[in-house]
A and B are shown apart, each in its own frame.
Chain A
Amino acid sequence: MPTVVNRQTKCYHCGEDCEEGKIVLAEKQFCCEGCKTVFQILNENGLCDYYDLNNNPGQSLRVQVRKDKFSFLDDEKIIGQLIQFRNEGQIHITLYLPHIHCSSCLYLLEHLNKINPGVIKTTVNFTRKELSVIFDHKKISLRQLAELLTSIGYEPYISLNNLGGKKPRVPRTLIYQLGVAGFCFANIMLLSFPEYLGLEAAEKHLQYAFRYINLVLALPVLLFSALPFYESAWKSLQHKFLNIDAPIVLAIWVTFFRSVVEVFTDTGGGYFDSFSGIVFFMLIGRVLQDKTYQQLSFERDYTSYFPIAVTVLKEEKEVPTALPDIKPGDTLLIHNEELVPADGILTRGKAFIDYSFVTGESLPVLKEMGEIIYAGGKQTGGNMELLVVKEVSQSYLTKLWNKDEGKITGEKGQSFVHLLSQYFTYIVLAIALATAAYWYFNDQSRLWPAVTAILIIACPCALLLSNSFTNGNILRILSRNKLYLRNAQTIEELAMVNHIVFDKTGTLTTTRQHDIVFEGEPLNGEAIHAIAALAAQSSHPLSKGLVRHLGRNKLTVQAFREETGRGIEGFINGDLYALGSREFITGQANQTGGTRVYIAREGRCLGYFSFKNHYRNDVNHLLGELRGNYPLAVISGDNAAERMSLQQLAGKNTTLLFNQQPHDKLAFISALQENGKKVMMVGDGLNDAIAMQQANVGIAMAEDTNTFTPASDGILESTQLGKLHKFIQLCKANKQIVLASFVMSIVYNIIGLYFAVQGNLSPLIAAILMPSSSLSIILLTYGSSSAVAKWLRL
């Protein structure tokens, strides 16, 4: 293969490779006109600080956005459902901009009013990639605003999901509760010192003052900060199940009321410090664990894929219509690169549908007039018209999603911590009963102090602490490695997995790269350049792949012609070149078996490029690691053309299934589960989504976290796939760590119980024992989970 002679440089705006000297402005190189335009806009408005904050911060604008794409934003009804506030002067709206990625974006977007004075104020929420805009709707319409954002490279993503119903805010209650608990805990600790150190008899009234202040400070902890535990315990009791929060609530209440009794009867200072400290520490653990990734959404369904509105043709006029309002019998105009939202019959134009979302088949299929096109496909070859036969809510894809809703959202198994805590609770209650019986017959005055002391000291908060702190740390380590789990429960699910199912296309293989091999008579450098130049004219995925493979150049193509779904041709340096399907080039019928692009010069076929899926680099290593420990399966929506090479890669014991539809994948997983398997499904597209929901753990692969991933238990950035086996090991370590710290807390409990059953647990002992056990457990869990991660080189 000859080397590409053109010198490559980086685009000043987006950093993509481009040719030197082709598009230049103010001595800066650009890869395309779009990038240059953005630079011009920013330059004219004095916003070039954008480029000083980061190198090449922009987004490539090679793919142009269709002119009327946002025409639906002229529709008052749709606007009304999107905006948050409007009066005569201004509109407030929050838009999701997936391209926000660095401080330059922040700078540019918050200075939007310099570009258009109609914008009053813009605020970026970086973590959620959202832009809150206040604008004057007399000066700039919502549509113009969306187009303005698009023109500078930040196209807002508005999907069916945005219609109706405001998104719930991130709950702040837990943070308030933590703050209040911390405040009360610190003050109660301070005011408890005199109690421990002892006060002279003459200063009895001071002691009373301290005790009553402590009591008052403990009230907000009892009534406000501890609420999450009450809720959780109450829910579990309603399901006739004793979860870990139930004994904790019992311990909290017993501690509080015992302390109140002590204060009122003047028998002691109570345990307000331990009481508030426990609530405080447990809330920290919970916040740590609940720290969800706000920019990632795990609960996506088809509505986040579908556009908010499509163009309906009514009496020769194009009317943008909100998706739910589409009726059977409407004629839709679907533009290039648009998603088909409802099942319909093709009535005009040529459809070249990319069903990879639905079936996993990575290359587009050609549909002729009169054929039915299912929702979820993406048109890739020009405009087409579609006669709707089913409403959006009735279409194949939507039905698929809704079919198993009830089953999918069902229970996913109980945490082993809850099981442990159940035994724990019964044992504690038994000890308390035995002690009560003993003192009842021996010394009745010590009965209540002893029983309450047991319940206080034996509170399983150490267990809860160790669990939530270990989980929190593991979630943090995983997310540092770009695996984002939905919640802590998923860690345990992941540890228990004993069957792993992979999707092939997009998961084991990458859709961005193909292995391309040329077969035919040898091509000289001139021909290769010509083919590359011709392919660069087309937006077809195969052409794009070919350009990546052969490299860009600046040869000009004359008389370019594209036949959608068949091929392209044009003159380069006076020669007529053609690229396309076998039928387009040779006139013979297409043959099956692999994807090929035939080429011809001056009407003579030179050979073909064959395209094979490119397996991710670390797949071989990963499958080798996993093969020894787990039964594996690879299911693919593609045809069986690659069975041989895949079987070699995955090992002979791996189950391979081809031509699998979404419901086949679902059935496969359900069948495994019926045989008692705990299944992990790793997939990427909408086509895997239902299978991933059915699986015990569903991991969605994402090329980058900006892209839209289907509903799942975890999102994994595709570059990190090779570490999957390490992630599983780390999750398995979680259980050991929790068990180890549980043993440690039992040791503490035994020491405490030794004093408690005798009925002489002094506040001092409780005050030393409780925080020291909590702290050492926090250290143990944090330290050991970090050590395991280090050992695994994560």
Chain B
Amino acid sequence: MGVIVLLLIASISVAAIFLVAFIWSVKSGQYDDEFSPPVRMLFDDKPKTNSNQ
């Protein structure tokens, strides 16, 4: 019984973390440009963050 409640809380909170991560990633502009970030990280010198002005 107690185990189920625990599992429930755990699973929903994990899912919620993913949801927050998803919303954050949309907000930071990851879906605006799907080409630049993967290429950008391959440049040798210091990488730049993808701030979406």
Contacts and interface: CB of A to CB of B under 8 A. Distances in A.
Interface of A: 49, 84, 92, 94, 103, 106-107, 110-111, 121, 123-128, 132, 134, 170, 172, 175-176, 179-180, 183, 186-187, 190-191, 203, 206, 209, 213, 294
B35 to A, nearest CB: 4
Contacts of B35: 106, 126-127
Contacts of A213: 8, 12
Given A126-B33, A126-B35, A183-B19, A49 B48 contact: no
B48 A190 contact: no
Contact of A123 (B8, B15, B48): B48
A180 B26 CA distance: 12
B33 A106 contact: no
Given A183-B15, A206-B4, A176 B26 contact: yes
B53 A94 contact: yes
Given A106-B40, A190-B11, A179 B48 contact: no
A127 B48 contact: no
B1 interface: yes
Contact of B32 (A111, A125, A179): A125
Contact of B18 (A124, A132, A172, A183): A183
Contact of A124 (B8, B19, B23, B36): B36
Nearest to B44: A49
Contacts of B42: 103
Contacts of B26: 172, 175-176, 179
Contacts of A172: 26-27, 31
12 contacts: A49-B44, A106-B36, A110-B43, A125-B33, A126-B35, A127-B32, A176-B26, A183-B15, A183-B19, A183-B22, A187-B15, A294-B32
Given A111-B43, A179-B22, A294-B32, 12 more contacts: A107-B39, A107-B43, A123-B52, A125-B32, A126-B35, A127-B35, A128-B32, A134-B53, A172-B31, A175-B26, A180-B19, A186-B15
A123 B50 contact: yes
Nearest to B49: A123
Interface of B: 1, 4-5, 8, 11-12, 15-16, 18-19, 22-23, 26-27, 31-36, 39-40, 42-45, 48, 50-53
Contacts of A134: 53
Contact of B33 (A92, A94, A127): A127
Nearest to A183: B19
B23 A176 contact: yes
B36 A179 contact: no
Contacts of A203: 1
Contacts of A125: 32-33, 36
B12 to A, nearest CB: 6
Contacts of B44: 49
A172 B25 CA distance: 11
Contacts of B52: 123
Contact of A175 (B16, B19, B31): B31
B38 to A, nearest CB: 9
A739 B42 CA distance: 47
Contacts of B34: 127
B19 A179 contact: yes
Contacts of B43: 49, 107, 110-111
A111 B42 CA distance: 14
Nearest to B34: A127
Nearest to A133: B53
Given A94-B53, A123-B53, A127-B33, A187 B40 contact: no
Contacts, number: 74
A134 B53 CA distance: 9
A106 B47 CA distance: 13
Contacts of A111: 43, 45
A201 to B, nearest CB: 14
B17 to A, nearest CB: 10
Nearest to B51: A123
B44 to A, nearest CB: 7
Nearest to A134: B53
Nearest to B19: A183
Contact of A132 (B11, B23, B31, B53): B53
Contacts of A92: 53
B18 A128 contact: no
A294 B29 CA distance: 14
A175 B53 CA distance: 20
Q: Report, nearest first, the 9 A-B pairs whose CB atoms are least far apart.
A: A126-B35, A183-B19, A132-B53, A103-B39, A126-B36, A179-B22, A125-B33, A127-B33, A175-B26
Contacts of B19: 179-180, 183
B41 to A, nearest CB: 11
B46 to A, nearest CB: 10
Nearest to B35: A126
Contacts of A126: 33, 35-36, 39
Nearest to A52: B44
Contacts of A127: 32-35
B12 A187 contact: yes
A97 B36 CA distance: 15
Nearest to A210: B8
A125 B32 CA distance: 8
A203 B31 CA distance: 44
Contacts of A176: 23, 26
A206 B1 contact: yes
Contacts of A186: 15
A782 B16 CA distance: 31
A106 B43 CA distance: 10
A84 B15 CA distance: 37
Contacts of A191: 8
Nearest to B4: A206
A110 B48 contact: yes
A170 B52 CA distance: 12
A106 B39 contact: yes
A347 B16 CA distance: 71
A134 B27 CA distance: 20
Contacts of B8: 191, 209, 213
B40 A170 contact: no
B43 to A, nearest CB: 6
Contacts of A124: 33, 36
Nearest to B42: A103
Contacts of A209: 5, 8
A126 B38 CA distance: 11
A181 to B, nearest CB: 11
B16 to A, nearest CB: 8
A71 B39 CA distance: 35
A531 B30 CA distance: 55
A183 B50 CA distance: 26
Contact of B40 (A110, A128, A206): A110
Contacts of A175: 26, 31
Nearest to A121: B48
A186 B19 CA distance: 11
A177 B45 CA distance: 37
Contacts of B53: 84, 92, 94, 123, 132, 134
Which of A125, A134, A203 has the most chain B CB atoms inside 10 A of its CB? A125
